[in-house]
Amino acid sequence: MANPERYENLVIGSGGAGKFMAWTMAGAGRRTALVERGALGGACPNVACLPSKNIIHSAKVISLARRGGEFGLKTDSISVDMHAVQRRKRLMVAGLHQAHVERTTASGAELIQGTARFVAPRTVEIDRRSGGKRIISADRVFLDLGSRAAMPEIPGLRAANPMTHVEALDLDRLPEHLIVLGGGYVGLELSQAMRRLGSKVTLVQHSPQLADREDPDIGAALKDLFVDEGIEVLLETELRQIDGHSGDRVRVHVNDREGKRCIEGTDLLVATGRKANTDAINLEQTGVQLDEHGYIKVNDRLETTAENIWAMGDCAGSPMFTHVAVNDFSIVYDNLNGANRTTKNRLIPFCIFTDPELARVGRNESEARRDGIEYRLVKMPMAEILRTRTVSEHRGFMKMLIANDGDEILGFTALGFEASELMAAAQTAMLGHLPYTVLRDAIFAHPTMSEGLNQLLANVRVR
Ligand SMILES: Cc1cc2nc3c(=O)[nH]c(=O)nc-3n(C[C@H](O)[C@H](O)[C@H](O)COP(=O)(O)OP(=O)(O)OC[C@H]3O[C@@H](n4cnc5c(N)ncnc54)[C@H](O)[C@@H]3O)c2cc1C
């Protein structure tokens, strides 16, 4: 092996965790290399969170235009230009990419575009995109390898060349009939967006409800929403075999409660989960161990089983959100600077950007019951919040779990207009360990969604 080039820090992967590690370390004057095999910035700005929310917003504008008469908009006809939909998204992605390039340059981190593979502990060989190889060794290594769409072992699936979110978010054409496999957040968001853009959509879900980590009332409300929008939702449906080619003609053979059936469509999207990108980087050379699902084993300080190697974000088995990857970075970085932070007891919110949105922070009812936690429940239809009347967005409900033996807020779930923003008020109260009565008695501006918290909490059963 040639003599490795020496760095203080080697960051592999430029996603939510890696880029901040590289920028911050280099900004503090430490010699830092950032290796990225794909697009700078990782999944979120390039192929995941932000492009999906961009397309979802175009789909929302189109759905509002279809409802235009209700708001006084006169249009003779509405048609969708997928090239224009993509143009807006690509412009956004290009702008974000430029911002990442500038910030990386300004930080002083050295960006190496290529694929890293360990050849010794804390030493990698990089296959450079521009050709040639480099060997780098570092005092500290930070792994931010991310994840990719899982491809379940279903006969004929790979041969059908299905889309993942990456291809689906980059379509310049509208699928005539899209079959979506998976009713988690990727499947839900993309099913609704593609339906609103004009595709016929069938959503196939193996479990008895959509968003199966949520309470059954949420799953049922999402199903009603989708059915009302003209999406065919098939629950408790097992995939048996796939024939044909996505983009042309596909036949999805399934078993459901009635027995065997076949769904025919033109395009196939796989959204059945994620897999960590830990398989091709030769971690055996490092002493970094994986768990049984292929995620990097870390302790609650995100230290791996190898000395001076940390893992962050999706590859470390952290909850798969950009905000968690960024938080992972700050835990590792602060600990290197003398802090004692851990991943224990993090309050992690999430949103599913269907329209209306689903937002949750803390426990839902199913989790509280599973953990034997007694709670008081308050639940209220969104339509009771006057703000929803002003915008004609009445759908959904919100609910809060309050401790039975105190006034602590245990969890908040909202399906409705601006649920993601509304959740932040509940989350802030939870972070501050405020009793629910503080929100109940707070004066929120009128007419806002937050005002609904007063109404919701007025109904808490007194202990
Ligand atoms: C369709 C979709 C929508 C989503 N929407 C949201 C959302 O709205 N909000 C949210 O919070 N989360 C969302 N997520 C999840 C979010 O995108 C991820 O949790 C987040 O991007 C993970 O960040 P990360 O830093 O762990 O990894 P990534 O962003 O995946 O970055 C890892 C990087 O490592 C690089 N890499 C891997 N191996 C090597 C190697 N050997 N050499 C060099 N480079 C390597 C990869 O190319 C990649 O760029 C969404 C995901 C999807 C798929």
Q: Which atom of ligand 1 is nearest to the CA of 114?
A: 43
Quote the number of domains for the chain: 3
Q: In this structure, how many other beta carbons lie within 10 angstroms of the beta carbon of residue 435?
A: 15
Domain identity same for 141 and 33: yes
Q: 101-129 burial string, b = 16+ CB within 10 Å, else e? A: eebbeebbbbbbbbbbbbbeebbbbbeee
The reply to whether the predicted model has a pTM over 0.95 is yes
Which of 49, 143, 352, when mutated, tests ligand 1's pocket best, judged by the most ligand atoms within 8 Å of its CB?
A: 49
Domain identity same for 25 and 141: yes
Domain boundary among 272, 296, 318: 272
Taking the centre of ligand 1 as the mean of its atom positions, its distance from the CA of residue 416, in whole angstroms, is 27
Domain identity same for 58 and 114: yes
Is 281 a pocket residue for ligand 1 (Cβ < 6 Å)? yes
Domain identity same for 310 and 175: no
Is 193 a pocket residue for ligand 1 (Cβ < 6 Å)? no
Is 186 a pocket residue for ligand 1 (Cβ < 6 Å)? yes
Alpha carbon nearest to ligand 1 atom 37, residue? 145
Taking the centre of ligand 1 as the mean of its atom positions, its distance from the CA of residue 379, in whole angstroms, is 34
Domain boundary among 272, 305, 328: 272
Contacts made by residues 387-392, CB under 8 angstroms, sequence distance 24+: 387/417, 387/447, 387/448, 387/449, 387/451, 387/452, 388/416, 388/417, 388/449, 390/447, 391/417, 392/67, 392/70, 392/71
**pLDDT at position 306, please?**
98
Domain identity same for 59 and 197: no
Is 313 a pocket residue for ligand 1 (Cβ < 6 Å)? yes
Is 44 a pocket residue for ligand 1 (Cβ < 6 Å)? yes
Alpha carbon nearest to ligand 1 atom 1, residue? 48
Task: Tell which residue, 43, 36, 34, 31, has the closest CA to residue 6.
Answer: 31
CATH number for the domain harbouring residue 252 = 3.50.50.60
Query: Rounded to an integer, what distance in angstroms lies between the CA atom of residue 202 and that of residue 199?
Result: 10
Domain identity same for 25 and 127: yes
Query: Rounded to an integer, what distance in angstroms lies between the CA atom of residue 444 and that of residue 459?
Result: 17
Taking the centre of ligand 1 as the mean of its atom positions, its distance from the CA of residue 13, in whole angstroms, is 9
The answer as to whether 399 is a domain residue is: yes
The answer as to whether 19 is a domain residue is: yes
The answer as to whether 347 is a domain residue is: no
The answer as to whether 153 is a domain residue is: no
Is 275 a pocket residue for ligand 1 (Cβ < 6 Å)? no
Which of 314, 326, 357, 423, when mutated, tests ligand 1's pocket best, judged by the most ligand atoms within 8 Å of its CB?
A: 314
Domain identity same for 92 and 222: no
The answer as to whether 342 is a domain residue is: no
Domain identity same for 172 and 262: yes
Is 27 a pocket residue for ligand 1 (Cβ < 6 Å)? no
Alpha carbon nearest to ligand 1 atom 41, residue? 116
Q: What is the DSSP letter of 316?
A: G
Taking the centre of ligand 1 as the mean of its atom positions, its distance from the CA of residue 354, in whole angstroms, is 20
Stretches where the chain sits below pLDDT 50 are: none
CATH number for the domain harbouring residue 390 = 3.30.390.30
- Bridge partners (DSSP) listed for residue 118: 124
Domain identity same for 35 and 82: yes
- Bridge partners (DSSP) listed for residue 413: 360, 399
Q: Which atom of ligand 1 is nearest to the CA of 18?
A: 25
Taking the centre of ligand 1 as the mean of its atom positions, its distance from the CA of residue 273, in whole angstroms, is 13
Residue 357, C-beta contacts closer than 8 angstroms, at least 6 positions apart: 351, 414, 415, 416, 417, 418, 419, 420
The answer as to whether 343 is a domain residue is: no
The answer as to whether 38 is a domain residue is: yes
Domain limits for position 17: 5-148+275-336
Domain identity same for 288 and 421: no
Is 349 a pocket residue for ligand 1 (Cβ < 6 Å)? no
**pLDDT at position 267, please?**
98
Taking the centre of ligand 1 as the mean of its atom positions, its distance from the CA of residue 109, in whole angstroms, is 20
Domain boundary among 336, 364, 387: 336
Domain identity same for 36 and 144: yes
The answer as to whether 94 is a domain residue is: yes
Q: Both tokens of residue 311?
A: 């893992």
Query: Rounded to an integer, what distance in angstroms lies between the CA atom of residue 9 and that of residue 7?
Result: 5
Domain identity same for 285 and 379: no
Which of 34, 321, 328, 329, when mutated, tests ligand 1's pocket best, judged by the most ligand atoms within 8 Å of its CB?
A: 321
Residue 110, C-beta contacts closer than 8 angstroms, at least 6 positions apart: 7, 26, 32, 33, 34
Which of 127, 322, 328, 353, when mutated, tests ligand 1's pocket best, judged by the most ligand atoms within 8 Å of its CB?
A: 322
Q: Which atom of ligand 1 is nearest to the CA of 281?
A: 41
